[in-house]
Amino acid sequence: MLPGFHHKLEQQQAPAFFARGPSPLARLVFFSALSLVLIATDSRLQYLTGLRQNLVALLQPLEVLANAPSQLYRDINEYFSTHNYLLAENQRLNQQALKQDIALQRLNLLMLENTNLRNLLQANKTMVESSLLGEIMHVSRDPFTKKIIVNRGQRNQIVTGAAVVDATGVIGQVTRVYPLSSEVTLITDKSLAIPVQVERNGLRAIAFGNGRNNTLDLPYLPANVDIRSGDKLVTSGIDGIYPAGLAVASITKIETSPSSPFAHIICTPTGGIENHRQVLLVSIPNNDTLSPNATIPHAEKGQTKTERSAKGPQKASENTPVKHLPTNTSKPHAPE
């Protein structure tokens, strides 16, 4: 009895928990077709955009919660790395400030000596430039032009031609001014040239932007020119745009050819937009006014030639009479 009873129980199958529906292949075909229809309809009508945005907004707390462990690890790592970096940076800046303080003391003595020498020689005083801090807003992605946009413009009294420098050297020149921003052409642009001077021997030249890469060229210099690899180039200041003494570039490659009387000199700029985001816009005030000795006074209406000659560089004394032409229209001129 017992073996037959167990045999009957084994032949019986348990009832299905869910009612059997369509086959898996039919379900796959149906949902695939439905997905394609929804994708095509959404691409045409854009009716699921709002729903998608709402779902993303609802899932945002879950994403933040899921990323919390990794974000906590990154924050802790950044805290300790930033702390160590700030300690090292603080120590380096303290050493740099000490060295600059010593150099500044010597600079003040040299400036005083220079002022005294200029007073003795009655030389013209050097022009004082004005500077304004700016920040790079946009960098051009055009490979054929090297331009950036800074957040200073006509409202900040920025003029066309102002030099743009950073903490390491000259990076460009303002070529277009807008009300709230300015366009700066970098010195590596092919359309820009800058007068430079070799810091070692004072040799003057003009550096042109290469345009293709981040380099400068020094053309039209003879093959036997006194320039070495590693020489520093600074602004000469003879153009009235760039203040003298600003770092520009360093010589990296010198090539000479027997078939050419000129040397092919390549320079690498000292400054660059990749180094800093803050820049300084420096402009030299125009000095268009002539000296009083160079001005020629205009003849007053009704004065004769003799009266004008009496007002020349040699002034007549009070006791010297001034001669006038016998004309009825001219008024007597009072002696100076």
Q: Which domain holds residue 266?
A: 130-283
**Per-residue pLDDT tens digits for 108-153:** 778 888 877 777 776 555 556 678 889 888 887 777 778 899 999 9
With a cut of 50, list the residues of the chain below it in pLDDT. Answer: 288-336
162 in Cβ contact with 286 (< 8 Å): no
pLDDT score for 208 = 93
| Residue 6, pLDDT score | 54
- pLDDT for 14 equals 58
Whether residues 274 and 212 fall in one domain = yes
**255 lies in the same domain as 277:** yes
DSSP labels, 279-323: EEEEEPPP--PPPGGG--PPPPTT--HHHHHHTSSSPPPTTSPPP
Half-sphere exposure of 42 (CA within 13 A, CB side): 11
Residues 174/153/155/159 CA torsion (nearest 10 deg): 10
68 phi and psi angles, rounded to 5 deg: -60, -45
Q: Is residue 54 part of a domain?
A: yes
Q: Which residues pair with 198 in a beta bridge?
A: 233
Question: Quick one: how many helices (H) and strands (E) in the chain?
Answer: 4, 12
Using alpha carbons, select from 244, 156, 150 the residue that is nearest to residue 195: 244
Distance from chain centroid for Cα 283: 14
How many CB atoms lie under 10 A from the CB of residue 332?
8
* Same-domain check for residues 102 and 158: no
pTM comes to 0.52
Task: Say how many domains are in the chain.
Answer: 2
Apex 269 CA angle, 200 and 165, nearest 5: 95
- Are 135 and 233 in a shared domain? yes
Question: Is residue 327 one of the residues assigned to a domain?
Answer: no
What's residue 301's pLDDT? 38
**pLDDT one-digit tens code per residue, 38-57:** 888 877 877 777 777 787 78
CB count within 10 Å of CB 50 equals 9
Q: Are strands 278-283 and 163-165 parallel, antiparallel or unpaired?
A: antiparallel
Residue 279: beta bridge partners?
134
Do 240 and 189 share a domain, yes or no?
yes
In-domain check, residue 323: no
Residues 51 and 174 in one domain: no
| 138 and 267 fall within a common domain | yes
Please state, in angstroms and rounded to a whole number, the distance separating the CA atoms of residues 332 and 330.
Answer: 7
Integer Cα distance of 309 and 81 in angstroms: 81
The answer on 221 and 192 residing in a single domain is: yes
